[in-house]
Amino acid sequence: FFSTRARRSRAREARPRVRTRLSSARARPHGVGRTPTPARGLSGHASLRPNPRWKKKLRPRMTSTCVVRASAPGRDHPRVTTPRPRKIPGPRPLSALLSLLSATKDDAQKAEALDPATLAQVRIVASSPKLRTVNGDPVRAAGLGGNRNVCQPKALAPTARAHGVNYFFAYSMRDDQIGDYLDGLAELCSDPKTRKKIFVAVGTENFTDREALTAHVERCLSRLRTNYIDAFFLEYVPRGAEAEAVETIRWMRNEGGLIVGDGGRAGVDGVIRYVGASTHDRCAGSRLLRSQRNGRGFIGEEPCEEEKEKEEKEEEEEERDGGGEKTATDLDFEPCELDFLMARYNMAHVKSERTLFPLAMARDVPVVAFTTTRWNSLQREPVPELGWTEGAPPTTAECMRWALAANDAVEVVLNSAPTTEELGAWCEDWAARGDGVAMSADEVAKWRRYGELVYEEDAPFETYT
């Protein structure tokens, strides 16, 4: 008997000391799960035995390297986690606490300053069904653009949105030129709810290199933190490059897979909802408007050999099907390749009214007017020699409203406000008009006379014929 007890005592002495941790997924009565109080064995060593009253309910696991927790339902093996020391944060310096307090105060002031309920709202909207946000809201006629000649603040785009503006244009993604403006626009696009309520337009001048164009589209999506663009413009298309621009748009619609098709979803079936072009040249703009979809050439121009063969095959098929002479409906042209056209239009530059704008309306292409202030020269006091006697020069808001009211082809007018103060000034002027007419007929005639006085026929970059 004593020899048996001695062997057991020696065996217990040879065992390594271990610790246990009891774990259970359900709540335990008081004392359950705690490390049991060691009981002194016959040999004088501590015997780690759990309370026998809970022996049937609890099955402690013993390990010397890790803590074993009860397995989750449906799992074959328990989850093993390595114990980590608890991190105790140290005291923060007084400067850090003060910065936190000041940041909270500034954020509250910004939120209060951008409350739409306290700001003047731009309410005049575009009529074209293309100028709609993803959730169906009509685009406001006054849009905000980026200006590379001044450093626009980051708060500009959020402030414009608070005033009701929902059309934003960024002609490039260069951070060295409009980086702060892009940061503010990206802040709006990163909010999923806000993104559905705004119309974001971008563009590029390098539209002949398709790989570069695709890379630029990816850059736009990444920089603005969005998965789709509402409108993409081929910028400043010069005379003689119209065919290349049209071929690029056709590639974007078909092989490129960039443009959302009819009935498609933005961000799923394509990353661009609409495509357009901008130009200072009225002749280039007119030819772009005469472009046609479905592979057809420009209206009024002799088709190429491939187009002739295609038309002959279509005529032969119609004759075999028993088709008679073509009616006026059969002679309708294909839709224009452009969804939008951006053109220069202001009080001094009105020659687009003669040919460009009537053609845009006939082709169902809304016009977005830029340089509405003639590079901020219309707001300057005219020289006395001009003989202007009808009061002060126009304000920025009056220049914008004139461009919208003077011709029905114009749906959106852009302005690149340099500061939030100037932005707020023309937003308040627009808000005073409500949702009615942008400008009366008498005002339009008055500022047309002003534009004729300040226009310089021989000035560089004043006009394109």
Task: Provide CB contacts within 8 A for 36, sequence distance 6+.
Answer: 48, 49, 50, 51
Residue 16 pLDDT exceeds 80: no
Q: What's the whole-number mean pLDDT along residues 33-47?
A: 45
**Per-residue confidence band for 339, with pLDDT thresholds at 50, 70 and 90:** very high
Residue 26 pLDDT exceeds 70: no
State residue 76's pLDDT score: 42
Which of 201, 142, 195, 158 lies closest to 435 in space, CA to CA? Answer: 142
H-helix or E-strand containing 230? strand 229-234
State residue 236's pLDDT score: 95
Position 9, amino acid = S
Residue 44 pLDDT exceeds 60: no
H-helix or E-strand containing 181? helix 175-189
**Per-residue confidence band for 86, with pLDDT thresholds at 50, 70 and 90:** very low
Lowest mean pLDDT among 67-71, 166-170, 177-181, 395-399: 67-71
Q: What is the pLDDT of residues 258-278, one digit of tens each?
A: 999 988 999 999 999 999 999
Residue with tokens 């914008």: 400
Global confidence as pTM: 0.73
Residue 101 pLDDT exceeds 90: no
Cβ proximity of 118 and 131 under 8 Å? no
Residue 91 pLDDT exceeds 50: no
Higher pLDDT, 397 or 385: 397
State residue 92's pLDDT score: 47
| C-alpha span between 336 and 382 (Å, rounded) | 41
Residue 423 pLDDT exceeds 60: yes
Q: Percentage of the chain with pLDDT > 90? A: 58
Task: Provide CB contacts within 8 A for 389, sequence distance 6+.
Answer: none
State residue 189's pLDDT score: 97
Q: 120: how many CB neighbours lie within 10 A of its CB?
A: 18
Residue 77 pLDDT exceeds 70: no
Lowest mean pLDDT among 89-103, 136-150, 166-180, 326-340: 89-103
| C-alpha span between 334 and 182 (Å, rounded) | 37
| C-alpha span between 123 and 434 (Å, rounded) | 6
Burial status of residue 157 (CB atoms within 10 A of its CB: 0-12, 13-18, 19 or more): buried
- The token duo for 163 is 């005033």
Residue 161 pLDDT exceeds 60: yes
Q: What is the pLDDT of residues 186-238, one digit of tens each?
A: 999 999 999 999 999 999 999 999 999 999 999 999 999 999 999 999 999 99
| C-alpha span between 132 and 129 (Å, rounded) | 6
H-helix or E-strand containing 412? strand 410-415
State residue 67's pLDDT score: 41
| HSE-up (13 A, CA, CB side) for residue 112 | 6
Burial status of residue 307 (CB atoms within 10 A of its CB: 0-12, 13-18, 19 or more): middle
